[in-house]
Amino acid sequence: MSNQNRDDLLDTVSREVAELQAATDQLDEAVAQRLGINRTDLRCLGQLFARGPLSAGQLAAASGLSPGAATTALDRLERAGFALRTRGAQDRRSVLVELTPLARARIKDLYGPVGTEGRQFLQRYSDEELRFLSAFLRDGRALQIKHAALVRAPDNASRALSIPERDVAQEQGG
């Protein structure tokens, strides 16, 4: 394969990954709207659905939220009837957050069809291809998490989000 063909293929795969991310974002937005919650709250629901009951601190870390933001999201989710805070069985001082049966049912109703169809879609791949896809997705997720942390880092955030002085002067006609 020539370098140009490989470069074209790399560009195509990169574009398809970005398009998959955008399509996933569209689905998540539609689900959040249907549930009457915002995207941050949906992210918290997703973590609770996938991991089961979590402490508020664990949920904050898993969702990439500050403790205060996680508490605010939990307050909204409780008011909506989607989350419940319960005392720990072993340590009564600890509080766990869990999904309500209503939340679990709504999530299954809204995401279940795409999960079922996606699983059927994956049936067409060989075991070797599925292992490759699993590795690709795992590595891609790790890459995204790494770069989210880099963007969040205080020393990188100001650099990444600021416009160099010379560009500001050019934009202002100077």
CB 27 within 8 A of CB 39: no
Instruction: Report pLDDT for 174.
Output: 45
64 and 107 fall within a common domain = yes
Would you give the DSSP letter of residue 60? Answer: H
- Kindly report, residue by residue over 16-44, the tens digit of the pLDDT: 999 999 999 999 999 999 999 999 999 99
CATH number of the domain to which 81 belongs? 1.10.10.10
User: Which residue in this structure is represented by tokens 């664990």?
Assistant: 58
20 and 100 fall within a common domain = yes
What is the Rg, in whole angstroms, of the alpha carbon atoms belonging to the chain?
21
Instruction: Report pLDDT for 52.
Output: 95
- Kindly report, residue by residue over 111-154, the tens digit of the pLDDT: 999 999 999 999 999 999 999 999 999 999 999 989 988 998 88
132 and 71 fall within a common domain = no
103 and 131 fall within a common domain = no
**Closest among 110, 107, 116, 113 to 49, alpha carbons compared:** 107
Contacts (Cβ under 8 Å, ≥6 apart) of 45: 35, 37, 77, 82, 83, 99, 103, 107
**Closest among 26, 94, 106 to 59, alpha carbons compared:** 94
40 and 55 fall within a common domain = yes
Number of domains comprising the chain = 2
pTM to 2 decimals?
Answer: 0.80
Domain with 55, as residue range(s), is 3-124
pLDDT (mean) for 6-15? 95
Would you give the DSSP letter of residue 94? Answer: -
118 and 164 fall within a common domain = no
Residue 10 to residues 103, 129, 141, 165, Cα–Cα distance (Å):
40, 18, 18, 34
